[in-house]
Amino acid sequence: MEFAGKDYEQMKEKVMEAVKLHFKPEFLNRIDEMIIFRSLSVADIKRIADLQLGYMVKRVAEREIDLTFSEKLKDMIAKEGYDPAFVLGP
C-alpha cells in the first residue's frame, strides 16, 4: 500500500524482496511468472460501477423497465465504494 500510485518498477522491486524473504528458493524456482498488481483508483472503481450498472440496465430492460443512472450517482458509488485497504488491481 505504501507504493500505491508510485513508480511501478520500484513497487515491483520491493514486492520481490518481500517474496524472497518469505518463500524458499526451491519454491520460487517452480514459479514461471509473477504478476504484481497495482491498487485501483477511484476512477477505476467508477468504471467498474458503470459496467455493473450497465448490466443491471440490461437485466431490467428484459422486463420492459427503463433505468438510467446519473453521473452524480456513479461518482457517489465510486467515492463510497473506494477503500484503499481493500482495493487491489493489475
**Whether the predicted model's global pTM rises above the 0.75 cut:** no
Q: Are 10 and 2 in contact (CB under 8 A)?
A: no
CB crowding 30-46: b at 16 or more within 10 Å, else e: eeeeeeeebbbbeebbb
Per-residue cell: 35: 504478476
pLDDT in tens, the chain (90 residues): 666 656 778 888 888 888 999 999 899 889 888 887 777 788 888 999 999 999 999 999 999 999 999 999 999 998 888 877 665 444
Q: What is the pLDDT of residue 89?
A: 43
Q: What is the pLDDT of residue 6?
A: 65
